[in-house]
Amino acid sequence: MWGLDVHVSVRAGHPGTTPLLLLMGIGGNTGMWEPLRGLLGRDRTTIAFDVPGTGRSSPTAVPLPLPVVGRIATRVLDHVSVGRADLLGVSWGGLLAQQVALVSRARVRRSVLANTNFGVTSIPPTPSALRTLLSGRRYRDPASFAEALVQLGGGTATDDLRAHVEARFAHPPTRRGYLYQALASVTWTSLHALPLLRTPTLLLAGEHDQAIPLANARIMRRLIPGAELTVVPGGGHLMLFERAADLAPVITGFLDRDG
């Protein structure tokens, strides 16, 4: 794909359902969708890929702007012969989901944006959460990850989180890949374009998310036409994986609606 080796993971479901494209947060890899991915339903085809410089995808020599990564996402859909998909983006992946939904509207049916914001113009993290986000050490050092659980809010080492953590350490991002993803997020905003986001959108936000303050989701709900907002009491930045069993039905309930 454009000279890049992009790792793509597909789990086939029923051909009559809309496939779901999974877009992971900064530094993440396809394996980190567990156990949530398995809870989204066996009938639903799920597609995930590692952004260049993360997981099992090759690194790039230069940073990729978010619009370019968005084009990679649509090329992934082309590669697996999917014309139209639903999107689930978490954190940095939520920015990517917005980019895809705004530029490739005909390719997107519904979007779920979890623990995300609208880019560089967003309300910033707390200072301690920002320090955590600027470092990729939590992908290599268990002690750093344990500290990150607290700094990013929520901070519950649940059974749901175990498979996510194992995948996190199995395929950490390159340092350059992590930096390039961070650069992509601080040179991009969707604030001006959110009123143009016409696909049905569900926002999932954590009450105690220190990385993406709840106020960001409230702003997005006002600006995205018809957007719905679900606030998870006590939820932190990793709530999608800490509380996978609780949040999977919320996601599938939204995606399974007609239209």
Residue 55's Cα: distance from chain center in Å?
14
Structure tokens at 230: 């679900």
Closest to 145 (Cα-Cα) out of 122, 125, 162:
162
Please pick, among 91, 122, 185, 190, the residue that the annotation labels catalytic.
91
Is 76 within 8 Å of 83 (Cβ atoms)?
no
Is 237 within 8 Å of 206 (Cβ atoms)?
yes
Q: What contacts 24+ positions apart, CB below 8 Å, involve 37-42? A: 37/11, 39/244, 39/245, 39/248, 40/248, 40/251, 40/252, 41/13, 41/252, 42/13
- Going from the C-alpha of 11 to that of each of 73, 83, 101, 186, the distances in angstroms are 17, 16, 22, 32
Residue 91 designated active-site: yes
Structure tokens at 119: 């880019």
CA 68, CA 251: separation in Å to the nearest integer?
A: 27
Catalogue the active-site residues: 91
